[in-house]
Chain A
């Protein structure tokens, strides 16, 4: 069994934005939009939920801070509490100023890298991943809106033509 989708191609971001709004108003379900660059406000127009990557980064940063603190407390204060140049190694807080640079760097390191890895995993991006944009022009200057097709085909094609699409295709999607 195959389902049909419509690929409506636009060559202008403003036309695309208007088309997204009209399509949503006409209760067509937009499956996906492929654009060559970030069209500001498109996620709002599509009704996409905000991303939580920044929240992840904050938590990862706390993990990094915790890791750094634990590591340096164990190494410098618990395991080998030596006197190195008269630095007080009786408790973490006494020699804390010397640990600030590494605590800071580890916070940034964890926050940045784990967030980027989360982004790659969530958006399914990795070196040998095959590209999934249905038309090569969508990385150049074309904007593609993929809409699921229910009911009358000609009517739908006509509708998308009227939204300013330069090309409307009906695709069999397995």
Chain B
């Protein structure tokens, strides 16, 4: 087992004396079993929320954008807030599957599949806002540079909103093929275990006839590595481009060069918090505590702490630069955030995003499942308010005091947002019951180096092969 050497200081990533077959059985169990009552209850709630959202969108499209709380001054509010929030949440999935792959982080293997699923499902939610916040969404296809009968009338490539179209569609499609390629060996495992002809057929189609040849694996690993290398700059560029929606404007409070890295840090921050929330529940209900261990939760908490600190530095930088700039509009924008009519959202954001991740410095807190769960929810509330604060407080009071106004959302704004949360959970719950939620082929590659039984055997100087 010399090829599986690992420093003794590293804690095991797979607990419970697992063999390769045990990994297969544990990953296949939630898929092969039947959904219990709780699943149906949660699924029904999510479905109702989703259908409510469908109703609100139908109402918006058929009646008009005026059903929302946005007004002539505040043209962007909950729509873009929710868009940026969902895109941000999606970023952790790519971070886990791509960046942690480039850094050879073995602990990513138990969480990457679900994190990527989260990416895909949340980018789907995000993608709905750019379409349905349009006044005439049935003309949305005009954003594409397609030859046409208007003398070939094209789009304008100067607009960050068009860059968004390219960024989000590239991001969603590349994430999807990255995820699907990784799924092939796991679908093949389910296919080869399937008992009923129907499931056999389904997983045969899904697995693309994956047979696990040595050459296939060689290419598979190269493709994964190159996709990780492409997805890493992609994930940074996508949220950068999203931040350009604001940063390239002339609005005080928006026009800052710090927005691209700061939005990306915020995206990782909120995304990891969401992964943590979902996985804490999933490990329990799917019986995967041996794979998604307390160590995984702790490492995710550390990333939340680091990116939360980066976000905190960005907040302070913005304040310092506003003061240093000598531009009274910029100074007023930040004074308005802290003491204006939306002071509560600013201070809520500050509390959630700057203080809550700092408690992760205490080992007791970052290794507590309950504390991690609560803090990860708090972070997502805080990050929603970050986008709300940036968007609404910068718009409702800017250059001309005669244009100053307030914003309050309507039930349709809220309904659309609730609908996307419902849709997200509908997709995620279906995923959890039909997809292999842990990349078993990857976990098997680290079993001998990081499984607790193999580590124990190595420490006892036992070099047997465990036949």
Mark contacts of A113-150 with chain B using CB atoms, 8 A cut-off: 1 yes-contact digit, 0 otherwise.
Answer: 10110011011111111111100111111000000000
Count, A-B residue pairs, CB within 8 A:
216
Contacts of A132 in B (CB 8 A): 209, 211
Q: Is A39 an interface residue (CB 8 A)?
A: yes
* Docked complex Cα distance between A120 and B178 (Å): 12
Q: Is B285 an interface residue (CB 8 A)?
A: no
Q: Is the CB of A113 within 8 A of B181?
A: no
Interface centre among A32, A72, A125, A132 (most CB of B within 10 A): A125
* Docked complex Cα distance between A133 and B244 (Å): 49
Q: Which stretch of A1-9, A51-59, A151-159 is in the interface?
A: A51-59
* Docked complex Cα distance between A53 and B237 (Å): 24
Q: Is B204 an interface residue (CB 8 A)?
A: yes
* Docked complex Cα distance between A17 and B3 (Å): 11
Q: Which stretch of B222-230, B296-304, B362-370, B395-403 is in the interface?
A: B222-230
Q: How far is the CB of A162 from chain B (nearest CB, A)?
A: 15
- Size of chain A's interface in residues, with CB distance under 8 A? 69
Q: Is A11 an interface residue (CB 8 A)?
A: yes
Q: Is the CB of B212 within 8 A of A112?
A: no
Contacts of B209 in A (CB 8 A): 124-126, 128-132
Mark contacts of B170-199 with chain A using CB atoms, 8 A cut-off: 1 yes-contact digit, 0 otherwise.
Answer: 100110011001001100110111000000
Given A75-B145, A141-B20: A43 touches B210 (CB 8 Å cut-off) = no
Interface centre among A80, A104, A106, A136 (most CB of B within 10 A): A104
Q: Is the CB of B204 within 8 A of A131?
A: yes
Q: Is B207 an interface residue (CB 8 A)?
A: yes
| Closest B residue by C-beta to A34 | B212
* Docked complex Cα distance between A57 and B222 (Å): 11
* Docked complex Cα distance between A84 and B155 (Å): 11
Q: Is the CB of A12 within 8 A of B21?
A: no
Mark contacts of B368-398 with chain A using CB atoms, 8 A cut-off: 1 yes-contact digit, 0 otherwise.
Answer: 0000000000000000000000000000000
Q: How far is the CB of B179 from chain A (nearest CB, A)?
A: 11
* Docked complex Cα distance between A90 and B164 (Å): 25
* Docked complex Cα distance between A6 and B166 (Å): 52
Contacts of A54 in B (CB 8 A): 222, 225-226
Q: Is B466 an interface residue (CB 8 A)?
A: yes
* Docked complex Cα distance between A72 and B237 (Å): 19
* Chain A to chain B contacts (Cβ below 8 Å), 13 pairs: A14-B4, A34-B211, A37-B185, A38-B441, A43-B215, A57-B226, A76-B156, A84-B156, A105-B237, A113-B177, A133-B188, A133-B212, A141-B20
Q: List 13 additional contacts besides A12-B465, A38-B220; criterion CB under 8 Å.
A: A39-B217, A51-B215, A57-B226, A84-B158, A85-B158, A101-B240, A113-B177, A125-B208, A126-B208, A130-B209, A131-B210, A133-B212, A141-B21
